[in-house]
Amino acid sequence: MRERALAIRSEGPVRPVQSLRDFEPGDQVHARLQLSSGGLFRKSVAGVDVRGDGTFVPFKGGVVREELDPTNHDTPFDLVRETLEAGAR
C-alpha cells in the first residue's frame, strides 16, 4: 500500500475542479487504497486516501469511514496496520 500511495503522490497534484462549488486539490480524493482482514461477517477495513494535494489521510471502516489521527504514529501506514491488527483480535 505504501509503495502504491507514494507512486500516486509522485504523479503530482490534481487540478482544482469547479462544479456546484470549487474543490481545491486538498478537498479531492485522488485515490483510495484499502485493505481488509478477518472473515466474511467480521471484516476489518482500513486504508489511506491520497488527497489531490499529496497528503495521506488514514481511515477505518468500509461503507461508513472514520478518519484516523496519525499524530502518534511514524506514518499513516503504521496506523492502518495497527488498526487492522486490532480488528483481527
Pick the closest to residue 65 from 48, 42, 40, 79 (CA basis): 48
4 has a pLDDT exceeding 90: yes
What was the pLDDT predicted at 88? 67
What was the pLDDT predicted at 86? 86
State residue 17 phi and psi, 5-degree precision. Answer: -120, 135
Q: Quote the CA–CA distance of 48 and 4 in Å, as a whole number.
A: 11
Q: Quote the CA–CA distance of 69 and 76 in Å, as a whole number.
A: 8
pTM score: 0.85
**pLDDT tens string 18-70:** 988 999 999 999 999 999 887 777 788 999 999 999 999 999 998 889 999 99
What was the pLDDT predicted at 89? 64
